Structure 1
Amino acid sequence: MRIIAGERRGASIAAPKGVATRPTGDRVREAAYNLIGPVDDAAVLDLFAGSGAMGLEALSRGARRCVFVESAGDACAVIKRNLEKLRFTGALVLCTDAFQALREERAAGRAYDLVLVDPPYESWGDLEPKLADVLPATLNDDGVLVVETSSRVEPELPLNVVTSRRYGSARITLFTR
């Protein structure tokens, strides 16, 4: 995998070994950021971060800050190594459950310009109602929420759908407040 655009364009990034993590491929990441548009000076929250590819891409494209949330220790270690290799500042890796991190972010009154959500595809059905309760509060008024699911799933959240597009086995859906 590699960074698609921005300051670190072309740099290779690592992904956790094994099949537990499904990194967002280069093509899907590029398509997602074409839909998202500029992220200059954005505060980004990358939930279910896995390899951190989506958040790393945001940092390369000029995001000011990115909080990576991932529960798997090996994936957290990979994200930290990628951050060190790419010499990104303004990043924080939280090796914890996504809902715990969301509760803490809400309690601290933090909101984000861009929220990236890419849980395991098979978990979306169970996660969707829980995420519907907490995700809207994490978005700034003009923020964008990006959800990656299986191409067969159309996520439904209490937000406005901007677009939903299929890319092979993946679907990228953008929401706003």
Structure 2
Amino acid sequence: MQKKSSHKPSYPRRPGPPQQVRIIGGAWKRTPLPVLDAFGLRPTPDRVRETVFNWIRHQVDGDWDSLDCLDLFAGSGALGFEAASRGVRSVTMIDTVGPVVRQLEAIKEKLKADNVRILRADALAVARDLAQRGQRFDVIFLDPPYQQDFLSQTLPLCASLLKEGGLVYAESGAALPFGDEEGGTPEWLAGWQLVRGDKAGMVHFHLLKLH
């Protein structure tokens, strides 16, 4: 996940040693992924990724090698490299922060991850461009900054980016408001169905598909 976008991003240092997460399964199982010592990076926890990839495996019958994936807010790369480790056909990883992208490129080179493509770009702009070009994906990962309302902007775009039967993983700081008590499902969630959802600590995570 990336920090808040700005023209001149600053990176206050965190106390203590740099964090890291690890790849849960596949060819690079147990491989540590360093987390850039920068404000705002909040990689999906190991336990959450394990659950989510179990959900996805069940939905695709374990047929990883036929999947094309898009990670729109790549950050540490935990979601994209997890997918690549399991042998998906391709992963396109997007982030707008230069130091983050350089670290992702270094990890790709270390792992010799030929099925990974990394782009430094704005996630919303890339999503619109890919949709206009007719590119489609089987799985889209959305783990944006929680406070910036990116899910309400990206989910409608994802409807034009999914192959038939495709899945979206969406992570947020609150449960998605399907049929909430304040007036029903919001327009930006219209057309989406919650396949699975859960919470771990402050992390709410959801697997979605189109009706």
Between Structure 1 and Structure 2, how many residues are aligned? 174
Match of 1:159 in 2: 192
**Displacement after TM superposition at 1:155 (Å):** 5.3
Compared CA separation, residues 155 and 69, structure 1 to 2 (3 A):
farther
Q: Is 2:169 aligned against 1:146?
A: yes
Tell me if 1:122 matches 2:147. yes
Deviation by residue 1:45-104 (Cα, 9 ceiling, x = unmatched):
001110111010000011110000111111111111111111110211111111110011
Q: Using the alignment, how far apart are the partners of 1:153 and 1:71 within structure 2?
A: 26
Distance 1:66 1:155, change over 3 A: farther
Matched to 1:168, the amino acid is G
Deviation at 1:21, TM superposition (A): 1.0
Shift of 1:18: 1.8
CA distance in 1, matches of 2:49, 2:112: 21
The one of 26, 30, 35 aligned to 1:15 = 35
**Partner of residue 65, structure 1:** 90
Shifted more, 69-78 versus 33-42: the winner is: 33-42
Give the alignment's TM-score, normalised by structure 2. Answer: 0.78
Whole-angstrom distance in 2 between the partners of 1:51 and 1:65: 18
Indicate if the aligned counterparts of 2:175 and 2:205 stay in contact, CA closer than 8 A: no
Specify the alignment match of 1:26 in structure 2. 46
2:95·2:123 contact (CA, 8 Å) conserved in 1? yes
Alpha-carbon deviation of 1:44? 0.3
AA paired with 1:149?
S
How far apart, in 1, do the equivalents of 2:70 and 2:155 lie?
16
Q: Does 2:123 correspond to 1:98?
A: yes
Note if contact 1:149-1:155 (Cα within 8 Å) is conserved in structure 2: no
How far apart are residue 122 of structure 1 and its match?
Answer: 1.3
**Other structure's SS at 1:10 match:** coil
User: In structure 1, what is the equivalent of residue 11 of structure 2?
Assistant: none
For the pair shown, the structure with the greater C-alpha radius of gyration is: 2
Contact 1:4 1:57 in 2 (8 A): yes
Moved more, 15-24 or 153-162: 153-162
Aligned residue number for residue 9 of structure 2: none
The gaps in structure 1 that reach 5 residues or longer are: none
Give the 3-state SS of the residue equivalent to 1:133 in structure 2: helix
* Partners of 2:28 and 2:67 in 1: CA distance: 17
1:172 aligned residue: 205
Identity %: 31
CA distance in 2, matches of 1:146, 1:90: 20
List structure 1 segments (4+ residues) > 3 angstroms apart after TM superposition: none
